[in-house]
Amino acid sequence: MAVAICGVNKREKDMDIKDRVIVVTGAASGIGRSLVKIFYKHGAKHVVSADVNMDGISKVAKEYGGTAMECDVSREGDIAKVIRTTEREIGPISIFCSNAGIGHLGGIEVPNDDWQKIWEINLMSHVWAARHLVPLMEKRGEGYLLNTASAAGLLSQVGDASYSTTKHAAIGLGEWLAFSYAKKGIKVSMLCPQGVRTAMTDGLDPELAVAMKDGMLEPDDVAEECVKTINEERFLVLPHPVVEKYIQYKTSDYDGWLAGMAKLNERFRY
């Protein structure tokens, strides 16, 4: 049942984690591992941990439960296989967390092969997951996509052109999916944190990393924020609330924002 408020349908009961079948890519460590842990904490029925690191996801599945499936998200066939196997052997996927991602410091000089790799992992993996899963969710009239982007997808990242570009593209795809399937029962959330203690941030100097200037969060805290956002069916997951203020400033004074980013670039460039 839904209640119409100012012409917009508001669901009385939003998405609940309890008793859901969930897939998490990039689950061997960091945010992905924490998502598996937190989903079970909130009563998930079964979580599939997917990653290229079989040793890592085997440990995750052993510690928290569920199934480990090898998956290289830069290959559409691997993603399709995880979806197909889960649907056939475990049950209908209610929530798919397209979480795997990589970074590559550098600008326009980064080689084409590296640009292509980060493009496939940070953007096309989301496209492929949606391509193979959304039609199934559409038939069921329900489904949820949680795609990991970054605050860099909303604001850009000093010192990393390919990361900023692909994360912006991921946000654009998420927006398109959200409004294109809004009437089909499919919801979308985009995870956009700043600094999180993961393998991607290991070894970065806090004095030189702009993403750390508003503080580093633990992966478990980010995962809890994801659950909260899914329950409320909101689009942006902002574990660092200050990001919302940065977005508002950017859209209110684009030139002023660019000038500020230029100063950050001089201060934090690698």
Which positions are annotated as active-site residues?
Answer: 150, 163, 167
Task: Single out the residue of 195, 234, 187 nearest to residue 214, CA to CA.
Answer: 195
Q: Backbone dihedral region of 185: left (phi > 0), alpha (psi from -120 to 50 degrees) or beta?
A: left
Number of H helices, E strands in the chain: 10, 9
Q: What angle do CA 208, 214, 217 make, to 5 degrees?
A: 100
Q: Backbone dihedral region of 202: left (phi > 0), alpha (psi from -120 to 50 degrees) or beta?
A: beta
Cα–Cα separations (whole angstroms), residue 158 to 4, 60, 197, 216: 43, 33, 18, 17
Classify strands 2-5 and 8-11 as parallel, antiparallel or unpaired: antiparallel
- Cβ atoms of 143 and 187 within 8 Å: the answer is yes
- Cβ atoms of 150 and 157 within 8 Å: the answer is yes
Q: What angle do CA 37, 38, 41 make, to 5 degrees?
A: 95
Q: Is 68 helix (H, G, I), strand (E, B) or coil?
A: strand
